[in-house]
Amino acid sequence: MTYCLGMKLDAGMVFASDSRTNAGVDNVGRFEKMRVYEKPGERVIVALSAGNLSVTQNALGLMDHQARKDPHATHFNNASSLFEIAGALGDAMREVQRRDGEYMRANKIDASASFIVGGQIAGEAPRLFLVYTEGNFIESSRETNYFQIGEIKYGKPIIDRVLTRRTSLQDAVKCALISFDSTMRSNISVGPPIDVLVLETDALRVGVTQRLDEGDPYLTQVRQAWSDGLKRLYVQMPAPPWYSETPALQQAAQQAQQ
- The nearest distance, CB 10 to its own copies, in angstroms, is 8
User: Could you give the CA distance from residue 208 to residue 105 in angstroms, rounded to a whole number?
Assistant: 40
Based on the shown chain and the rule CB under 8 A, indicate whether residue 240 belongs to the binding site for its own copies. yes
In the complex with its own copies, the residue whose CB is nearer, 80 or 186, is: 186
Q: Are 189 and 50 in contact (CB under 8 A)?
A: no
In the complex with its own copies, the residue whose CB is nearer, 136 or 170, is: 170
- For residue 194, count CB atoms less than 10 angstroms from its CB and return exposed for 0-12, middle for 13-18, buried for 19 or more: buried
β-pairing, 3-8 with 146-150?
Answer: antiparallel
- The nearest distance, CB 91 to its own copies, in angstroms, is 28
- The nearest distance, CB 44 to its own copies, in angstroms, is 15
In the complex with its own copies, the residue whose CB is nearer, 68 or 185, is: 185
* Interface of this chain with its own copies, residues 154 to 173, rule: CB under 8 A: 154, 156-158, 160-162, 166, 168-171, 173
Q: From the list 98, 239, 247, 258, which residue makes contact with its own copies (rule: CB under 8 A)?
A: 239
Measure Cα distances from 125 to 9, 14, 117, 252 in Å.
Answer: 11, 15, 14, 63
Measure Cα distances from 59 to 71, 75, 92, 107, 114 in Å.
Answer: 18, 12, 5, 21, 10
Beta bridge partners of 129: 117, 139
The candidate with the shortest Cα–Cα distance to 210, out of 12, 19, 11, is 19
* Interface of this chain with its own copies, residues 193 to 232, rule: CB under 8 A: 196, 198, 200, 203, 207-208, 210, 218, 221-222, 225-227, 229-231
Query: Which residues make up the interface to its own copies (CB under 8 A)?
Result: 10-12, 153-154, 156-158, 160-162, 166, 168-171, 173-175, 178, 182-183, 185-186, 196, 198, 200, 203, 207-208, 210, 218, 221-222, 225-227, 229-231, 233-246, 249, 252-253, 256
